[in-house]
């Protein structure tokens, strides 16, 4: 009886070891699949992020004919809104950098003081379209077309009230910005001289 029992016990142990080995292999295979999926997800996310940064990097390499760098306005996409405006052909949103917004909240230019050096403002422009979803007639932004920029640097722009001007046009078909060839550093000064008393800035910081 003993030899049979011993033989059976050894066989059972061998079978159990095979089952444990198979289970371990299956677990390892599962872990490998999960790890591979995680790595692929990270690689895809990294590629998308890099593509977005690449597009921003491309536009921030641009300079206007007047020497104003688009990179001076890096981060304008997230700046606070100053005001809005529109014509029949263009919807406009005006945003300012933190220096500009702080000056506005301190009462500039209503208090007669000029904006400080380093103030920057950007006018973002879209072609409008009629909303197909609203329950009433309303125009909404359609295709982005242009970024009109201003920066305060009295040493660089003494002949235009201390402000430098530039225009960067956007082409939706290529998803690319280009400097406007007619965009000299004082290109907007002729229009803005009518608001010289407001330090050449048309738009007040609107109540909200």
User: pLDDT digit string (tens) for 43-72?
Assistant: 444 444 444 444 566 999 999 999 999 999
How many angstroms separate the Cα of 106 from the Cα of each of 28, 79, 83, 125? Answer: 64, 18, 17, 27
Tokens of 15: 């079978």
Topology of 70-198 in CATH?
Answer: Chalcone isomerase (3.50.70)
pLDDT above 50 for 125: yes
pLDDT computed for residue 12 by the predictor: 67
Q: What does the domain layout of the chain look like in residue ranges?
A: 1-59, 70-198
Q: Could you report the per-residue pLDDT of 13-48, keeping only the tens digit for each? A: 666 666 666 665 666 555 555 544 454 444 444 444
Helix (H) or strand (E) holding 98: helix 98-105
């Amino acid at each position: 009886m003993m030899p049979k029992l011993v033989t059976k016990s050894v066989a059972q142990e061998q079978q159990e070891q095979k089952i444990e080995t198979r289970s371990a292999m299956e677990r390892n295979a599962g872990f490998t699949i999960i790890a591979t999926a995680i790595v692929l997800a990270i690689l895809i996310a990294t590629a998308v992020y890099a593509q977005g940064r690449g597009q921003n990097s491309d536009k921030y390499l641009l300079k206007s004919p007047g020497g104003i760098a688009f990179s001076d306005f890096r981060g304008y996409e997230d700046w606070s809104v100053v005001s809005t405006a529109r014509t029949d052909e263009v919807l406009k949103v005006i945003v300012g950098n933190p220096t500009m917004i702080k000056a506005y909240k301190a009462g500039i230019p209503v208090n007669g003081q000029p904006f400080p050096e380093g103030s920057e403002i950007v006018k973002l422009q879209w072609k409008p379209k009629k909303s197909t979803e609203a329950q009433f007639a309303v125009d909404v932004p359609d295709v982005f077309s242009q970024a009109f920029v201003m920066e305060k640097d009295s040493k660089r722009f003494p002949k235009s009230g201390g402000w430098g001007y530039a225009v960067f046009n956007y082409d939706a078909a290529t998803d690319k910005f280009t400097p406007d060839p007619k965009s000299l550093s004082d290109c907007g000064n002729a229009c803005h001289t009518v608001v010289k008393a407001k330090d050449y800035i048309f738009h007040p910081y609107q109540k909200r």
